[in-house]
Amino acid sequence: MGREVLALCEAGYRGAECVGGVDAFAKGGETYIVYKDFSDVPEAAIDCIVDFSHHTLTPALLDFAIARNIPTVLCTTAHTPEEKAKIALAAEKIPLFFSANMSLGVALLVELAKKTAAAMPEADIEIIEKHHNRKLDAPSGTALMLANAIKTVRETAKYVFGRHGQSKREREIRKNQKVIDIKEVRLSATIEDHDVEVKFKAATKFLKDGDKVKVSIRFRGRQISHSEIGLEVMKDFAERLQDIAVIERRPLTEGRNMTMVLAPKESK
């Protein structure tokens, strides 16, 4: 979602402009100034801070926002109790919008879940989510957002985690199953050879681990009128991997995104 906000800024949406970012591990190539730490950010006209990074950055970010009196949009999840307390305190000092999910569809789902819970007071409610097997925060921020919203109309409801599929038999079945993840590799229509090589190595590792790879390109600005360039980038990338991968889904353009799915080639 952060990339979408940046794309809107780069497109000049309603005059929006990204004047800088903070990233201690920036690799370069950004279209805006990146600082290693909030203390490095000079005094400047900043209308708003938007954060889609990681919850461990929240305390320093809020200290900076309060010190500069900057309205903040906070979109991170998995906060500790101490970080949540800091967020609540910051909201008393600066304009602060905080949500675990910024999707319009999820916002609608939250409202529908509340209405359903209120209309069916005797019914059990179970939230089931599926992620890749390396998901760090479970339940996710979105799942907790739904549960917390339901609890506003079911005040006596209790959270019970891990109900679905927790029988011994089901655990044993899953333990013996081969889990196939779909990894994502992001390219660009103007990607440099060195960056292609980095993405190639990452995709090679994923495929050799038995996972599928979703290759995506996001067209910026007028690039969409020359989508054939992105198609050539996709074809070249697939050809580089042809010894270990097959194209499961050919490049498909949806809006400003072009995607392709590669699958590991079966051993003969």
Residues identified as active-site: 131, 135
Say if residues 38 and 59 touch (Cβ distance below 8 Å).
no
Selection from 264, 267, 232, 231 nearest residue 247 by Cα = 264
Tokens for 172?
């044993």
Please list the helix, strand and coil fractions of the chain in percent, rounded to the nearest 5, in that order: 40, 15, 45
SS3 97: strand
What distance lies between CA 70 and its chain's CA centroid? Answer: 24
Selection from 32, 43, 102 nearest residue 69 by Cα = 43
CA dihedral 142, 148, 151, 152 (to 10 degrees): -110
Say if residues 37 and 15 touch (Cβ distance below 8 Å).
no
Say how far apart CA 190 and CA 212 lie, in whole Å: 24
Residue 207 CB: number of other CB atoms within 10 A? 21
Say how far apart CA 18 and CA 83 lie, in whole Å: 26
